[in-house]
Chains A and B, each alone.
Chain A
Amino acid sequence: MKIELTEELKEEMKKLREEFANLKEQLKDVTEKERERKRGIHIDVGTNVREYIDDVMEGVAEGIHGELEKCVFIGPKGVKILRERPSHRREHQIEVSLPKVAVVMSALGHEHRLRILKELMSGGKYINELQEKLSEITTSTLSSHLDVLEEAGLVVQEKVRGRHLITIPGRTAYKMARRVTRFLERRDYK
């Protein structure tokens, strides 16, 4: 299959070269005539120029061949064309799970949990370190808040070390919550 494709490519390149040579000849005639008409100067396309154009054509051919090799996969089951879709199109195709949104928003909907996330933004912490920072929250309440945050995927706990860490979604959600609040305050939507 690969040999066939290479042969087809070679054939295409041969035709392109012939067309290009014809066009070059035509252009040469037109240019010569035009120049003769205007200034009476005759310029021959030298060997170096031809070589240069041939080199360019070779480069183009290699480029096309390289691109084909990248996007055409020839396997035991035949030829497969690999197409990479733009990322913004993929984003639109992802279904947003509303129950999941509700879980995340619910986890963010408590001042104590937001304060926990804020503390974790500066690095992972053991529960006693969090307790020191958030002394008004009892240990049992703190644990249940951490469970809610963990359930929503905003916080993860190291089972061996015991530290609690804010996850990438946790950071994003915390920043987003602050941005939304700032936006609402600025617009005075209360």
Chain B
Amino acid sequence: MHQKNIKRRLKEIGIPILFFICFLIVWELSVIFLKFPEYILPQPTKILNEIITNLGKFLMHTGITMSEAIIGYLIANLLGFLVAVIFVHYRTIEKGFYPYAIALKTTPIIAMAPLLILWFGTGIASKIVASAIVCFFPILVNTIKGLRSVDDDSLDLFKSYSASKWQIFTKLSLPTALPYIFSALKISTGLAVVGAIVGEFVGANKGIGYIILVSTYHLQTVTMFAGIIMSALIGVLFFWIISLIEKKFVFWQGSKNGF
């Protein structure tokens, strides 16, 4: 039984990796034989070489982008959660603010980015804010939906124990909402990185977004690809960590989406 599980896991991980390696080989060979110029499509081996020889530089910039994304993510999710709790308990406040929350959500972050640079400067603050703005809505919407998904029967049960509001919140509403909350936490890992990189595109002198932008100016496509790969890795790593935490906290079911 156990061995069978390991075999299945190997298959699950092994097959995508195998496909990826095939893809890289086809890419490598087609660049060599079709003679694409390097500034259009560089060879994968060259990109890898670029990352390895300049590992220090790439890690430094990746680290900066990652910090911006994580800080923005944490602020947004904490704030979004608190606002959701307030909205659920005070209907009037929700009615008053919700339309504007939606309006802010529909405004593209790229349209707001120049303003953020103007207000918060070209340092990491503006990127943190950009990240936070895009991460704010998933957690807000999902927490509201999750807290409202408590069924009446369970509520009756708690009322029959004369449970306090706080007890109902911590022992019933919050665990009920957890699958929704984690769904939002996973969605916004990717969004957080997008926010940070958009911020860096508009005005920065550090970070992966900055590396990508500068390499475009100089037609250093190899560096650009390396930057794209690093940004993808940040997103994947971030998503993976949150998924692991989710498995630990929401073991009784998968995540639920409130959208």
- A associates with B: no
Interface residues, chain A, CB within 8 Å of chain B? none
Interface residues, chain B, CB within 8 Å of chain A? none
